[in-house]
Every structure is written in structure tokens, then in C-alpha cells.
Structure 1
Amino acid sequence: MDELLLLLGLLSAHLLGDFFLHPLSWINDRLNRHYRSSKLIWHALVHTLLSWLVLFIWEWTFGWGPTFWQPLWLALLLGCSHYVIDLAKSYCPVHTRYFLLDQCLHLTIILLIAMQLSQSWHWLKWCWDWLLTPTHLIVLIAYLLILRPSSVLIALLLRNWTLDVTEGSLPKAGHAIGLLERILILTFTLLEQFAGVGFLLAAKSVFRFGDLTHQKDRRLTEYVMLGTLLSVTISLLLGILTLRLVNGLV
């Protein structure tokens, strides 16, 4: 339990430093000046201070008493790593993939520091053992199938009714909506919350089919409805099959 408290404390410090104590002016200064940015140094110092507070309190409560130097060195290590990662990120385009990569690197370092300080490397074995079970692998495969393979299948099934539906809409918005729709339907199905599936379809019909009705375009309406029903059918069938397989293994 004390190892978990350490990890949660470091994660809380990271969230405070990266999102709540990180003004937009600091971000713009880092993006414009890169390694010459003084605000990037201040940002790293904020993370260092917050991490030191968490590490010092944890050492005082669960560790080897009121030691000062070990929490300080670990906090400096975390702050320096944050500086290097954010500096590298400042040279990358503003894109979701780089944001996610940035956060994954930060979280990896936090996890390594927490395990090193608490000497709880058995977490890695626990995570590996948790993943390598038939139940979790089946669920993982289901989510992988619901993404790209399902998109390819739906595109092939609709190839005889291809229409230009991009006019007046956001680029690739339909594809993104379909991915989120299938992920949510699969999740609701695995949780056996079929009311959520109905709510999702009702919400989509209000916002999307209503607009199509106003356009007086029957062919476009039928095309979108056909794609939606294919997406829902594939997601439900895959979800029910996954649920049956998982329940059969339990």
C-alpha cells in the first residue's frame, strides 16, 4: 500500500506541474525559444519541487526517516528528465502523437523512480502476469479488431455505394466518429450495459441524421445509415462473442 501511495503522489505532482501550474505563456516561450527558454527551466523546477515534496514526505513516513539527500537527488533526476523530454517535444509539431509520447515518457520515469525508491520491482512481474492471461488477451484482440480491421471491412462492404460525403464536413471526421462509436459500443457490450448502446445511437441520430434530413439528400442519408448500422452490427457481434469467450474461461 505504501508503494501505491508513493506512485499516486508522484502522479498527482506530475498532473499539478504539467497542467495546473504550467501557464500558456510558458508553453509558447518553450515552443518559440526552445533551449533558450527560461520558462522551460522554471517548469522543470516546479516539477522538481513538487516531486521532492512527495518523495520527502514518503521517506519521512514509510522510508528511512527524515533523509534529505535521496529525495532531492531523485527529484532533480525527475526534473532534469522533464526538461530534456519537453525540450525535445518543443521541436516537434503540435500533434496528438507527440503529446501522448511525451506523457508516456514522463509516466515511465515516474514509475521507475517509484519502484527504485520502494524496491517494488515485483510490479513489473504482476503487470506482465496480468496481461498474459487468455481473458485479457481476448479483450485486447477485440479492441484491435474493432479499430483498423473493422474500418477496412466496412469500407469494402460499402464500396458499391461510394459517395463524396466530405463536402461541408471536417476532414476524416466520419472515420474518427466511427472509431469512437465502435470502441464505445464494444465497451458497453463487455460491461453488459446495452442501454448505453441505445443512448449512443439515439444521440448520434439526433445530431447526424437530423442534419441529413434537412439536406433533403436521401442517398446520402441512406449511405450514412448503412455505414452506421454496419458499424453497430460488427461491434455488437464482436462484443457478444468476446463476452461469451471471456465468460467461458472464468
Structure 2
Amino acid sequence: MNLSILLLLIISHLICDFIFQSQYILNMRFSKSFKDSLIGNAIHGLTHFCTMLLILIIYISIYKSSKLNYIYYFEILFCIAFLHSIIDEIKTFIVKLKPSFESSIFIFITDQLIHISIIVMLTSDLNISNISNLLISIINNYPYNIRMLDRWLIVGIIFLSCTWGTGVFIRKYIQAINLKLYRKLIDKKLVIVKSVKETDIGSPNGGFTIGILERIFILLVMAIGQPSMVGFVLTAKSIARFKKMDDSNFAEYFIIGTFISFILAISGGIIIKTLQVIPVIK
């Protein structure tokens, strides 16, 4: 297994699932129309294939990896994208049966684990022993067997997971809490409409974008060894949301989201800081 290619494909997966996937594609994927959902999942799968292919081409051109079997990896990328579309179509079918599952944290985590597992399995020639041998090799030789490129790719995975990935996770978690009492009504295809005051309407995805920026800041200050600066983010958020804190529901969701965001971002920052002291090989 080429560890660099595995890490690159995981990065590609995170980019396509959390950054490139627009609300329009999501609406198509979970449309009531079978045709629309099929097209939406196919487009999403094609996006994964094109992104993986582009990243692999860049990797080959930079490192001039003439030893790679191009046809083999092209087939691998096609299989990953095809299986991704199939799994997403199954997920769409499940959500259509039980609409409340669309905001399920369990479904979200399981879906991501399956996709990443497929990437690992296919890049390991579907051989469990190859994966176990790689893990044993890493453990036995730690910390002397990591390349500079691989270290930066791991940092990239942590960055994407702690910023966009965490943002999607928090959004789904808050939705799951908010709709917990209404699951039966949702599964019966009853629409719940929540009135929104004009003064409550902010910029589209404003909170999501702010969350990404705060986690980028936390990752940076943890990476440079200045964890005390994390308090600046909490102070800034508290001041910005001070007036809304009178709403107990908002305050609870704000605190829950903030703690999840901080815990995952600080954890990611600790890992990045640890990677900095690991010796590298060329």
C-alpha cells in the first residue's frame, strides 16, 4: 500500500463530502423523486472520482512516480466512486423510509466510516493482512517511519476533519436534539414549520462559517504552542451572542456547539503539535 496515496484519497473524500457538496446536490440526493436522487448521488460520486483523479495526477506529476500502475489506480478510483454512489443511494432509500434519519448522528458517523473503510480496503488490495501489517509497522517503528509528505497529509486530514467535518457534525447533532421530540411526526411525513422573526435572520451559513474560522484559529494557536489564546475565541463569541443568551434554548445549543467545537479543535491541535516533534525521513 502507498500510504501517501491512501492519505490523499482520504483528503479527497473529506473535500468532496464537506466542501464541494452543495445544498442543491443534497436536495437532489434526498429528493422524493427516485430519478432526482439517483442523478444527485451519481453527480456526487462523479465529483469524488474527478477530484481523486486530479489529486492523483498532481501527485504523480510532482513526485514523478513512474513505478505506479496507472491503470490499476484508475480502476481503484472508479470503484471507490461507484461504491460511494451506491452507499449514498442506500442511505437515501433509508432516509426516505424514515426521514428523521437524515439528521441522525449514528447514520452520519456510520456513513463516513464505511466510505473511509472502502478507501482503505481498496488501496490495500482488499487484503486485511496488508492493513494489519502496515499498522504493526507504524507501531513498531514509531516515531521513525513517517515521511515529511505523509506528515503534512495527516495534518491536512486533521484540518479538514476539525473544521468542515466538525461543522457538519455539530449541525446534525443540534438538529437531532432539536427534532428529537418530533421524530414520529417527521417519519409520518408531517411537515413542521418553525416561525422565524425577521430580526433573527442572519447571513446564510453565518454560524457555520464562524465555526470554521474559530476552529482554524484554535488549530493554529495550539500548533504554535499558545493554548491560552483559545480563550480569545470564547470571549469574542460570547460578546457577539450576548443579547441572544436571554433565550434559554439558544443558550443551550450555543454552549453544546461551542464545547463540541472546542474539544475537537483542541484535540486536533494537540495531534498536530505532536506531529511536529516526530522525526521524519525523506
Which has the larger Rg?
1
Q: Which has the higher contact order (CA 8 A, sep 6+)?
A: 2
| TM band (smaller chain) | 0.3 to 0.5
TM-score scaled by length of structure 2: 0.41
